[in-house]
Amino acid sequence: MANDSNEALSLFEVPPAEPAGNGDYPGHWDDHTTPPADRGNPLALAGAVVSFLPPVGLALSAIGLRRSRSRRGAGRTAALIGITLSLVLGGVETYVAATAPLLDSGCLNANTAASRLRAVQAAPGGDLSALAAELDAIHTTLDGAADSADSAQVRTRLQLVAGDLEALSVDITNAKATGETGQLVTDEAKLQVDGTAADSYCHSL
């Protein structure tokens, strides 16, 4: 009789909850960590932040986008923004590198000639023959820089300065022979104008 009562009561007992997954209780993740969506996606955010460095930003954003698929979309928007910005900024940087006078081969090769010319202008010395020879050497260097220029505008500006140097060198030699120095003032003024214009252009973006 007692056994019959126990069997009847057991029909109304609630069975214990079955473990979920690998022995975990419902609501817990197998690895005992927070759900993927709660972990965030720091690489996606980092990619957007460093997008001004296109290769790095693009790589981090791409990884972040891939990880967002397994994290319920976490970081997807940031990753897409990072990819977009990296591509846009990369294109801008490539364009600037290809077109900026600052990076033109002619301007880069003219740096040595410009430094020598500034040194001569600062201390021309009293030996006119030596001064003419130095100006001829600078003229030759500048002519070579003009020939290596990638841009027609850079080439034209450097050739103007080279021409001014050649004319000044000739007039210095003539002045030594004749004693006439009036033309040297005109030559120096033209060289100053053309040199300043070329220098400003070569240091622009």
pLDDT per position as a tens digit, 40-92: 889 888 988 988 888 898 899 999 999 988 888 888 899 899 899 888 888 77
Q: Both 126 and 90 in a single domain? A: no
Is the pLDDT confidence value at 205 over 70?
Answer: no
Show the domain range for 188. Answer: 105-202
Q: Which residue has the higher pLDDT, 204 or 46?
A: 46
What is the C-alpha separation between 15 and 181, in angstroms, rounded?
115
Q: At what angle do helices 128-147 and 111-122 cross, to 10 degrees?
A: 160
Structural domain count of the chain: 2
Q: Taking residues 164-187, what's their average pLDDT?
A: 91
Q: Collapsing DSSP states into helix, strand and coil, what is residue 73?
A: coil
**15 falls within a domain:** no
The residue type at 171: D
Residue after which a domain boundary falls, among 83, 98, 113: 98
**175 falls within a domain:** yes
Rg (CA), the chain: 38
What is the C-alpha separation between 181 and 130, in angstroms, rounded?
17
Q: Both 198 and 109 in a single domain? A: yes
Q: Both 89 and 120 in a single domain? A: no
Q: Both 87 and 132 in a single domain? A: no
What is the C-alpha separation between 59 and 70, in angstroms, rounded?
18
- In the chain, what percentage of residues exceed pLDDT 70? 76
Q: Both 68 and 142 in a single domain? A: no
What is the C-alpha separation between 172 and 183, in angstroms, rounded?
9
Other beta carbons within 10 angstroms of residue 22's beta carbon come to 8
Q: Both 109 and 182 in a single domain? A: yes
Q: Both 83 and 113 in a single domain? A: no
What is the C-alpha separation between 158 and 112, in angstroms, rounded?
13
Q: Both 194 and 130 in a single domain? A: yes
Q: Both 131 and 158 in a single domain? A: yes
Residue 24 has phi, psi (to 5 degrees) of -85, 160
Q: Both 125 and 196 in a single domain? A: yes
**168 falls within a domain:** yes
**13 falls within a domain:** no
Is the pLDDT confidence value at 20 over 70?
Answer: no
Q: Are 41 and 64 in contact (CB under 8 A)?
A: yes
pTM: 0.55
Model confidence band, residue 22 (pLDDT cutoffs 50, 70, 90): very low
For 131-169, what is each residue's pLDDT tens digit?
Answer: 999 999 999 999 999 999 988 999 999 999 999 999 999
Residue after which a domain boundary falls, among 98, 115, 144: 98
Residue after which a domain boundary falls, among 98, 117, 141: 98
**54 falls within a domain:** yes
**48 falls within a domain:** yes
pLDDT of residue 181: 85
**135 falls within a domain:** yes
Whose tokens are 């030559």? That residue is 187
**182 falls within a domain:** yes
- In the chain, what percentage of residues exceed pLDDT 90? 33
Selection from 160, 148, 74, 72 nearest residue 105 by Cα = 148
pLDDT of residue 10: 47
Q: Both 69 and 110 in a single domain? A: no
